[in-house]
């Protein structure tokens, strides 16, 4: 069975969308990827979209989603980004809180380092949750 990962941030418009985009691209179908927000915005941050497009990853058509208890129950790994207190805790799940700067209101020069840190964390996460082929 494929592992599933849920990325959660407040607005589900920047960090969690970039993380989900990277994991979807790098896992190549080997991981089920979800993202949500405790207070989702109505659209993805356009600077996050541009930063990911530079990496060849299209997140422009994603839609911010509200965090649900069901989403947390379905995930094997739950990664919060600045909203850990809003996330329900269930036994048997792996929880991580990634402290990352918020890209909201930032220019592309400020968002690139956030994007690059997310990519490094995704690569490390993949190495931990996927068996070596």
Decide: 53 and 22 in contact? Cβ < 8 Å. Answer: no
From 5, 8, 9, 67, the catalytic residue: 9
Q: Which of 13, 75, 78, 83 is catalytic?
A: 83
Active site residue 87: yes
* Two structure tokens written together for 19: 């993380």
CA atoms within 13 A on the CB side of 97: 9
Are the CB atoms for 95 and 89 separated by under 8 Å? yes
91 is catalytic: no
Half-sphere exposure of 58 (CA within 13 A, CB side): 2
Of 51, 87, 122, 125, catalytic: 87
Concerning whether 69 is annotated as a catalytic residue, the answer is no
Would you list the DSSP string of 9-60?
ESSSSSHHHHHHHHHHHHHTTSSEEEEEESS--SS--HHHHHHHHTTT---T
List the catalytic residues.
Answer: 9, 83, 87
């Amino acid at each position: 069975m494929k592992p599933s990962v849920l990325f959660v941030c407040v607005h589900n418009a920047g960090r969690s969308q970039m993380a989900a985009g990277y994991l979807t691209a790098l896992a190549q179908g080997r991981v089920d990827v979800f993202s949500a927000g405790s207070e989702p915005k109505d659209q993805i941050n356009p600077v996050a979209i541009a930063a990911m497009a530079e990496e060849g990853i299209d997140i422009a058509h994603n839609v911010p989603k509200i965090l649900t208890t069901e989403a947390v129950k379905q995930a094997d790994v739950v990664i919060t980004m600045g909203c850990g207190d809003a996330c329900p805790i269930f036994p048997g799940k792996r929880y991580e809180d990634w402290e990352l700067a918020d890209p909201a209101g930032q220019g592309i020069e400020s968002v690139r380092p956030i994007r690059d840190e997310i990519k490094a964390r995704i690569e490390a996460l993949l190495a931990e949750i996927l068996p070596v082929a």
